[in-house]
Amino acid sequence: MAPGKTNTVPDPTKVNPLSPDARRQYMHACFRMLPISSDLRQQARTKAIELQSKHLAEKGLRDVNVVYFEYHVDATIWRLIFNRLSMIKNNPWPWTVSLDENDLSQGTSSVFREWRQSHGPSGETQEGSSTPRSKAPRSQHQAPVPQTLAEAEQMAREARERANELELEAFRLERIARQWPADDKASRFGGLANPQAHHPRYSGLQPLDGREFMSLEEAGRAATELKKESDAKSLEIKDISMKVTSTSRAMKRSLTGGEERDAENLSNEDTSMSVSSSSKRPRPENTAAVDPPSEVGDSQDEPSAHP
């Protein structure tokens, strides 16, 4: 460590959580002690804005309090990063603040407004189309009927792979839910006592994928939804397997009566040809009577070794 450089963590009780500058200075001081890059922090902010904006848009809000929005974006960034490092148990968000998102006296969030303008119309369209989709019969969600046996088998394999991936993701989320701390107000920054110990484990961090959740309830809901989706995929696989069997049987019944007779005639011709060819073969005893052993002929042609 360079001389004079310290890894001290500020006291969160001395930080005004409603001041964006003070709050983010505290966050950056903590993040500097973690084995993460500035790119990952930027990815976390982008993802946090998306998550918070979707949450508020689903509530039907068109404008929100700027202080509320930025505070909860920062809290989401914190949880995304510490969830990624599996350190959220000892490092919960250090403040509890109650804010009214509808109080616009402090100004509105331009970030949320821009996100809603760019995503709102498409999001409303998707939401409107998803409502009847969820009530539609299951047959509308099934894959197209395969036209050949090979196509049906390929579709069944792909559906099985998708179901396995969903099952693994549901298992991961269930583990998160089971391991969630009963009291998330335990010692703060206890996991940062020796930050160097985490470097080998987290040296290959992947980009945030949106599968990091901010509460036990969200993790549980996500696991339940994935379970339902996995069950639906399993039903789809069974349906495809039945189609594979039906396609195979249909292909076996596709021969007409004339074609079956042609196949039978070909089989009879093969049998008669086999019998005819076997009757024309010379008998072994005749061959032995006509052709003398080669050793005898050779001994007569060669000169004798004795006078």
Give DSSP secondary structure letters for 132-172.
HHHHS-GGGGSPPPPSSHHHHHHHHHHHHHHHHHHHHHHHH
Domain ranges of the chain: 7-133, 137-193+211-251
Matching residue, tokens 């024309």: 280
Question: Rounded distance, CA 205 to CA 86, Å?
Answer: 12
User: What are the phi and psi torsion angles at 108 (to 5°)?
Assistant: -105, 155
Give the model's pLDDT for residue 149: 78
CB neighbours (10 Å) of residue 137? 7
| Contact (CB, 8 A) for 212 and 48 | no
Give the model's pLDDT for residue 40: 92
Give the model's pLDDT for residue 228: 77
- This model's pTM is above 0.85: no
Rounded mean pLDDT for each run of 10 residues along the chain, 307 residues in total: 54 93 94 91 94 93 94 96 92 93 92 88 44 42 64 78 76 68 46 42 42 55 71 74 67 53 54 48 46 42 42
